[in-house]
Structure 1
Amino acid sequence: MIYVFDGSLEGLLCAVFEWFERKPGQITLTTEKLYQPDAFNISFQVENDAKKADRVWKALQKKLGKGWLRRFYCCYLSEQPEALTHLFEFSCTIFQNPPGAENNYGNAHVLAVTQLAKKVEREKHRMEAFIRFQQTADGYYYCGIDPDFNVLPLIMGHFKARYADQQWIIYDLKRNYGLHYDLQDVTEIHIPPEDRHRLKKPADNLLSEPEAMYGELWRTYFKSTNIVARKNTKLHVQHVPKRYWKYLTEKH
């Protein structure tokens, strides 16, 4: 049997609920976007139900510590096609076994959830370290990013605390949504398709007058403090991979 759901976290939790409710045996989990009907397999459409999803999540909270709940969420944010199946099977494993099943790294799904979560956490830390804002003419601080994983929900608290006195926007160019902080709350925003071409690199007339000067000042400082004789490109790339250089003012 094939379980088809919408790909959301709520839908995934509902799929777990429906499996325990119906006990259909071995299933294949897929999203509506990827599902292709065929004549040889029976499909079951998983409908989203907040109450069912909440019951499953609360049950997981009773079985798992906060660290594992975060790994579960990070694995989901990886957006990898195999992550959904691993999370589904991981949940079933947790509910079908005595306490401590999450520490059995011989289980392929436990191991996969751990590894995917670790990759997402690493991307989160790199985004927090390498994001550089540009001040726009209307006083906002803006940065466009395209991380490998959907880390905006994870970095929101960091930037809200660190830049509490500035209005800022961080926009995920790959997933077409962003975060807007207005000095009080952080809200999710979406830019209309006709305006998205401006997001990757705002035009000079959209930036504040001092922005170009600050950028040049930082590049000059970086160049003056750099010791050419001690240059170690291999080590530098290990700490700052090249795919993040596009965010760094000193690299332009």
Structure 2
Amino acid sequence: MDISGSSAVVTGAASGIGAAVARQLAAAGATVVVADVQADKGAALAEELGGVFVHVDVTDTAQITNAVEVASEQAPLRVLVNSAGIGPAARTVGRDGTYESAHDLDLYKRVIAINLIGTFDAVRIAGTAMSRLEPLASGERGAIVNLASVAAFDGQIGQAAYSSSKGGIVGMTLPVARDLAAIGVRVNTVAPGLIDTPIYGEGEKAEEFKARLGESVLFPKRLGSPEELASMVLECLTNSYMNGAVVRVDGGIRMPPK
């Protein structure tokens, strides 16, 4: 699918993988709507790319809808990439055996609300907008890529909430792709492994920590770059025969329990 001349909504686009995706979409000729809660970084990236920043908390349907409307005003909305997410860690049962030390239920709900429900909400709203478009010569109206994680398959200690949310994204990939086939919209999921993003911090200690993490990768023994993830996202968007798939981009890693 040719995405040049189209608009694209990227949630969580202000930094990390989302920002790398936004840059590659812009380079491919799309007008990018940077949808994020980080106003300063998001606005700066949108200006860099000639796109538009829209403040979006993915737990707010009205804000998602606004981003989709803004994108539709720029050009036909044919691309959605869901990259917004959080990943706090907590054990299911506390060490002291008290009910109070068990995994905070509100935290679990928040992770699900942002990572899973927010992703589905964006899919249903953007998919509705795409359904109104005239199809391209290929019969396609658009394409969607959701970002999951290898934690969907190899969840570590403390990742109950995060793995649940990302496993939900993996689980909905095929049924949503089947739903949206009726309107000519493809749906795929990319599951990153250990990616070098600002989450690890900066400086000498951060670099040493990342190097140790990289040793656990099968090959190459390093963290992946956001650009390597973004290139797979772009492939899933532009390759018209990619549909209903979940693709791990992880250097062959299989995460240990901790």
Band of TM-score, shorter chain: under 0.3
If asked which structure has higher relative contact order (CA below 8 Å, sep 6+), I would say 2
TM-score, length of structure 1 as denominator length: 0.26
Which protein has the bigger helix share?
A: 1
